C-alpha cells in the first residue's frame, strides 16, 4: 500500500489468498465462482469494519466464508457510507421504483457526517471518506446531549452537516461551509454556524440496524431524537409516488437551497448497503436535469504552463477518471475554465508539490497529449460538463463503448476541489460509460470522428 496500490487490490488479494490456503475451509459447494465470491466478501466486510488488524486475524481463524459473521459492525469504527445513483428525471425514478414503496428526501449540500455516540458519552464524527472530522465540529459534538431522548445510550447517525444562517433561518451554500477550518476548531471562534440534517440511523443502544429496512430505521430515528430548529433537524421528506407531487417537492427543495432530491426504497430492498452505490438510493439534482446526469470527480494528472495573464500558474490541466478493473487513470479532458484567479493559484501551488519526472505507468493518455508537467494522483476535482463524446484522443472508458476510442467531456468547468475523496474514489470508467449511454442524443458518426479538444 505504500507504493500506492489501490485498497481494493489488497482486499481481492486477501480473499484469493484465503481461497488458496490449504488450512482454511474450502468454499461451500453451491458457490460457483469462489475467487470472485471471496473477493466480494472481503470488500463487504471491509466496508463494515475497515481495520486490517481485526480482519486478517479473523480471516486466518475462520476463513473467508464465515468472515462476515466474525467481523461485525463496531461502534466507534466508521462504516463506508451508502451512495446514490444519478437519475435525470422524476419519470425515470417512477420507472425504476415501479410497484415499490419509496420516499423522497431533500438533498442537502454540505458535508456527509457519520456521528458515533459511545456509551461513555464520547462522540466521534467521520467524513464521507471515513476520516475523523470531530475536531472540525465541536458545535455538533456539543449539541448531541440536547437532541437525544433519555432512552438513548449509544447511536450512529448518518447526516449531512450544512452551513446555516440562524437569524434568517436559511441554509447557506456549500462554499460557506468550506471556509471553516478543518481541524482544531474552538467553539468560541466559530463564525459559520451549522445545522445537522439527519437522514438515517445505523445503530441504536447496542443494536446494529444495517440489516433493517429504512422504514424501521426511520422509526428509530424519529423516536430517539428531538429536533432543535437550526441545529438538528430530520431531513425533509415525503412519501408519494405521484409524479406531480414529487416534481413540486423537487422545486420546494431547490427553493430551500438544496441541490435536489434523494429517493430511497422504504419497506423492501431497503437495507443500508455500506460503501455501495446502490440502486435503492437515486439522486436527482435539479442542475443537471437538462444536461447530463451528474458532475464528475476527476484527478489532475498533468498540466500545461500558463501564458499571458496566467504566466506563473498552470494554464490548463489534464484530467483523468479511474478505471477500477485495470487500476489505471485514463485521460478524459483538458480543463482551463471555472477557476477563480485565487483558486488557480492555490491549485497550481498544491500540485507543484506533486510533480513527478515522468508519467506513472498506470496513466493512459494519447502520445499527442504532451503536457509540461506530470503529477502524482493526489487531488479530486468536481467538474461539470456540457456533454460526453467519443474521442480519438482521450482514453476514458476505452474499449467499453467503442473498441478503440475513449470518451471525453466537452466544455468542462471546475465546480470545486473535493477534500473528501481519494483519487481512487474518482468517477470510474464504468460510470463514464453509463453516463455516455444515458445521454439522450447519441452522437452521429460525423461527430464521433471529431477531436473535441
Known catalytic residues?
107
Identified binder of ligand ATP from the candidate list 235, 250, 301, 401, rule CB under 6 A = 235
What's the Cα-to-Cα distance from 258 to each of 50, 137, 167, 172, rounded to whole Å? 31, 21, 19, 9
Residue nearest to ligand ATP (CB): 112
How many Å apart are CA 268 and CA 215, to the nearest integer? 9
Q: Which of 12, 39, 49, 105 binds ligand ATP (CB under 6 A)?
A: 105
Q: Nearest approach, Cβ of 388 to ligand ATP (angstroms)?
A: 17
Residue 369 touches ligand ATP, criterion: CB under 6 A: no
Interface with ligand ATP (CB under 6 A), residue total 13
One residue of 11, 59, 196, 262 binding ligand ATP per CB under 6 A: 262
Of 88, 116, 128, 384, the residue at the interface with ligand ATP (CB under 6 A) is 128
Q: Which of 112, 268, 410, 416 binds ligand ATP (CB under 6 A)?
A: 112
State in angstroms the smallest separation of the CB of 279 from ligand ATP.
Answer: 13
Q: Measured from the CB of residue 286, what is the shortest distance to ligand ATP in angstroms?
A: 12
| Residue 405 near ligand ATP by CB under 6 A | no
CB-based contact 143:232 (threshold 8 Å): yes
> In DSSP terms, which residues pair with 418 in a beta bridge?
380
- CA–CA gap between residue 51 and residue 212 (Å, rounded): 24
CA 447 remoteness from chain centre = 32
Smallest gap, in angstroms, from Cβ of residue 261 to ligand ATP?
A: 8
Work out the burial of residue 306: count CB atoms within 10 Å of its CB; fewer than 13 is exposed, 13-18 middle, 19 or more buried: middle
Shortest gap between Cβ of 60 and ligand ATP (angstroms)? 33
Q: Give the interface segment with ligand ATP, choosing from 104-112, 169-177, 335-343, 347-355 (CB under 6 A).
A: 104-112
Q: Which residues contact 214 (CB under 8 A, 6 or more apart)?
A: 103, 200, 264, 265, 266, 267, 270, 271, 272
d(CA 287, CA 415): 12
Q: Based on CB atoms, which residue is closest to ligand ATP, 395 or 418?
A: 418
Report the C-alpha gap between 103 and 81 in whole angstroms. 19
Binding segment for ligand ATP among 62-70, 78-86, 138-146, 349-357 (CB under 6 A)?
78-86
From the number of C-beta atoms within 10 Å of its C-beta (0-12, 13-18, 19+), residue 280 rates as buried
Name the burial class of residue 410, with classes exposed (0-12), middle (13-18) and buried (19+) by CB atoms within 10 angstroms of its CB: middle
324's grid cell: 477500477
How far apart are CB 288 and ligand ATP at their closest, in Å?
Answer: 10
Contact status, residue 77 vs residue 50, Cβ threshold 8 Å: yes
Q: Applying CB under 6 A, which part among 106-114, 141-149, 184-192, 331-339 lies near ligand ATP?
A: 106-114
Rg (CA), the chain: 23
Which position among 65, 102, 126, 199 is part of the footprint of ligand ATP (CB under 6 A)?
A: 199
Residue 40 binds to ligand ATP (criterion: CB under 6 A): no
Q: Is 108 in the site for ligand ATP (CB under 6 A)?
A: yes
Please count the other Cβ atoms lying within 10 Å of the Cβ belonging to residue 251: 11
* 160 lies in the site for ligand ATP, by CB under 6 A: yes
Which part of the chain contacts ligand ATP (CB under 6 A), choosing from 46-54, 105-113, 363-371, 394-402? 105-113
- Examine residue 364 and tell whether it contacts ligand ATP (CB under 6 A): no
Q: Which is nearer to ligand ATP, 107 or 384 (CB)?
A: 107
Strands (E) in 185-251, as ranges, are: 194-204, 207-208, 232-234, 237-238
- Between residues 103 and 331, which has the closer beta carbon with respect to ligand ATP? 103
Rounded least distance, CB 374 to ligand ATP, Å: 26
Q: Is 283 in the site for ligand ATP (CB under 6 A)?
A: yes
Residues 11, 84, 319, 333: which binds ligand ATP (CB under 6 A)? 84
Cα–Cα distance for residue pair 344/342, rounded to 1 Å:
5
Question: What separation in angstroms does the CA of 254 have from each of 226, 248, 285, 422?
Answer: 25, 10, 9, 29
Site of interaction with ligand ATP (CB under 6 A): 81, 83-84, 105, 107-108, 112, 128, 160, 199, 235, 262, 283
Amino acid at each position: 500500500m505504500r507504493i500506492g496500490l489501490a485498497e481494493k487490490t489488497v482486499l481481492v488479494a486477501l480473499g484469493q489468498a484465503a481461497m488458496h490456503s490449504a488450512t482454511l475451509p474450502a468454499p461451500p459447494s453451491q458457490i460457483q465462482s469462489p475467487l470472485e465470491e471471496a473477493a466480494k466478501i472481503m470488500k463487504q466486510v471491509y466496508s463494515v469494519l475497515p481495520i486490517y488488524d481485526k480482519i486478517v486475524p479473523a480471516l486466518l481463524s475462520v476463513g473467508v466464508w464465515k468472515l462476515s459473521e466474525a467481523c461485525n459492525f463496531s461502534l466507534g469504527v466508521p462504516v463506508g457510507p451508502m451512495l446514490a445513483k444519478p437519475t435525470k428525471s422524476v419519470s425515470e425514478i417512477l420507472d425504476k421504483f415501479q410497484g415499490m414503496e419509496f420516499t423522497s428526501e431533500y438533498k442537502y449540500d454540505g458535508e456527509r457526517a457519520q456521528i458515533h455516540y459511545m456509551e461513555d458519552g464520547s462522540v466521534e464524527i467521520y467524513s464521507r471518506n471515513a476520516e475523523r472530522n470531530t475536531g472540525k465540529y465541536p458545535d455538533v459534538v456539543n449539541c448531541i446531549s440536547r437532541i437525544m431522548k433519555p432512552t438513548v445510550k449509544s447511536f450512529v447517525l448518518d447526516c449531512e452537516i450544512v452551513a446555516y444562517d440562524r437569524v434568517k433561518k436559511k441554509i447557506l451554500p456549500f462554499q460557506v461551509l468550506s471556509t471553516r477550518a478543518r481541524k482544531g476548531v474552538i467553539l468560541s471562534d466559530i463564525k459559520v454556524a451549522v445545522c445537522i440534517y439527519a437522514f438515517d440511523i445505523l445503530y441504536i443502544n447496542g443494536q446494529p440496524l444495517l440489516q433493517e429496512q429504512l422504514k424501521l430505521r426511520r422509526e428509530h430515528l424519529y423516536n430517539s431524537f428531538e429536533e432543535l430548529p437550526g441545529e438538528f433537524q430530520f431531513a425533509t421528506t415525503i412519501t408519494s409516488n405521484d409524479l406531480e407531487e414529487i416534481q413540486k417537492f423537487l422545486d420546494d427543495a431547490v427553493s430551500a437551497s438544496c441541490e435536489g432530491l434523494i429517493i430511497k426504497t422504504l419497506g423492501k430492498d431497503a437495507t443500508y448497503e455500506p460503501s455501495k452505490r446502490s440502486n435503492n438510493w437515486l439522486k436527482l439534482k435539479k442542475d443537471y436535469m437538462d444536461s447530463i446526469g451528474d458532475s464528475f470527480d476527476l484527478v489532475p494528472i498533468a498540466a500545461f504552463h500558463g501564458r499571458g495573464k496566467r504566466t506563473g500558474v498552470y494554464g490548463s490541466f489534464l484530467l483523468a477518471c479511474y478505471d477500477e478493473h485495470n487500476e489505471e487513470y485514463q485521460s478524459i479532458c483538458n480543463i482551463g475554465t471555472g477557476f477563480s484567479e485565487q483558486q488557480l493559484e492555490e491549485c497550481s501551488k498544491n500540485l507543484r508539490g506533486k510533480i513527478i519526472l515522468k508519467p506513472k505507468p498506470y496513466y493512459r493518455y494519447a502520445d499527442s497529449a504532451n503536457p509540461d508537467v506530470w503529477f502524482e494522483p493526489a487531488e479530486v476535482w468536481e467538474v461539470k460538463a456540457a456533454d460526453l463524446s467519443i474521442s480519438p484522443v482521450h482514453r476514458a472508458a476505452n474499449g467499453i463503448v467503442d473498441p478503440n476510442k475513449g470518451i471525453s467531456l466537452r466544455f468542462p468547468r471546475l465546480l470545486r476541489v473535493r477534500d473528501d475523496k481519494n483519487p481512487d474514489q474518482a468517477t470510474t470508467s464504468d460510470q463514464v460509460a453509463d453516463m455516455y449511454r444515458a445521454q439522450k442524443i447519441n452522437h452521429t458518426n460525423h461527430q464521433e470522428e471529431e477531436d473535441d479538444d
